[in-house]
Amino acid sequence: MNILVFVKRVPDTESKIRINRETNSIVEDSLNFIISPNDEYAVEEALRLREAKGGRVTVIAAGTEESLVVLKKCLAMGADEAVLIKDEMKETYDGLRIAKILAGAVEKKFPVYDLLLFGKQSMGADNAQVPSMVAEKLGLPQANVVTKLEIDGNKGTAHREIEGAMEKVTFSLPAVVSAQKGLNEPRYETLKGIMAAKRKAIPVLTFEELGLSQEETAPQVEVTRLDMPPVRRAGKIIPGTPEEAARELVKLLHNEAKVI
């Protein structure tokens, strides 16, 4: 199987986000960056499919050269090849822009594939747009937010999470699948993997090489504001014995908050 996996570099989920109001962007100094956790499930699934069925795993990221670290990690996990599409723009929160870039790269440089794997959303922009948009651009079926995936010949079956239930989606390959927590347990890089990854070069592709015009890569999303969430104040600590406090809490929820 020829599998393409798409990954993104995002701030660590344990970090505090600070913003710059003048540039409407987040402050990156002192932030720790990681591979978007959902993308790790996608990489792991690709490696497992290759182990079961043979084939090749290529990991692709669009971003600045800072994303090379994330690609190195994927190589250390066991990916055969990693490629960076050089995008000098910082976060534009524009899913369609990224989808055009990735779909353009697939058509131009990786036209032979069976499966395209993504994380269900990047933990940052939180758009959850790119997998479905790439599927549409390439005319492929999609299964998003997947917690179980089975491939049998050129047919796939995925379990995808919906509200309070699961959907079983059947599709033909090639297809787009986006991974959700629960799909698998991503492996750690081994020392051998890290050493092997060090020796692998990561080709860098430019928009020019991909035949992407200025127009196609211009953001269509105009950011007007970036704000911190409303500040929550610490409220009341309810005193008393557990019994007294519990009764008082119900009273407050009923009479004051009016939510019960």
Backbone angles phi, psi at 146, to 5 degrees: -95, 135
Choose one: 105-113, 187-195, 196-204, 240-248; the region binding other proteins (CB under 8 A): 240-248
Closer CB to other proteins, 75 or 134, in the complex: 134
For other proteins, the binding residue among 1, 127, 193, 194 (CB under 8 A) is: 127
Whole-Å CA distances, 91 to 181, 221, 226: 24, 11, 13
The tokens describing 30, both together, are: 């002192």
Given 69, 166, 195, 204, the residue binding other proteins (CB under 8 A) = 166
Figure out which of the listed residues 124, 189, 194, 196 binds other proteins, where binding follows CB under 8 A. 124
146/170 Cα distance (integer angstroms) = 12
* 208/243 with CB nearer other proteins: 243
Q: Which of residues 45-64 bind other proteins (CB under 8 A)?
A: none
Q: What is the CA radius of gyration of the chain?
A: 22
User: From the list 39, 87, 94, 114, which residue makes contact with other proteins (rule: CB under 8 A)?
Assistant: 94
Residue 167 — φ and ψ, nearest 5°?
-110, 135
Q: Which of 28, 66, 170, 203 binds other proteins (CB under 8 A)?
A: 170
Number of residues that bind other proteins (CB under 8 A): 84
Residues in the chain: 260
Considering only residues 29, 54, 188, 236, which one is a binding residue for other proteins as defined by CB under 8 A?
236
* 132 binds other proteins, rule: CB under 8 A: yes
Q: Which stretch binds other proteins (CB under 8 A): 59-67, 76-84, 177-185, 206-214?
A: 177-185
Per CB under 8 A, 191 contacts other proteins? no
Identify the residue among 22, 152, 163, 208 touching other proteins (CB under 8 A): 163
Does residue 257 interact with other proteins by CB under 8 A? yes
Tokens of 177: 């699948």
Helical axes 191-199 vs 68-77, angle rounded to 10°: 130
Whole-Å CA distances, 143 to 38, 99, 175, 219: 15, 16, 8, 26
Asked if residue 153 binds other proteins (CB under 8 A), the reply is no
Distance of CA 247 to the CA centre of its chain: 44
Segment near other proteins (CB under 8 A); pick from 59-67, 111-119, 159-167, 195-203? 159-167
* 137 forms part of the interface with other proteins (CB under 8 A): yes
Query: Could you tell me the two tokens for 8?
Result: 């993104």
Q: Rounded CA gap, 61 and 144, in Å?
A: 19
CB contact set of 142 (below 8 Å; sequence gap of 6+): 131, 132, 135, 171, 175, 176, 177, 178
CB of 159 to other proteins, least distance (A): 9
161 binds other proteins (CB under 8 A): yes
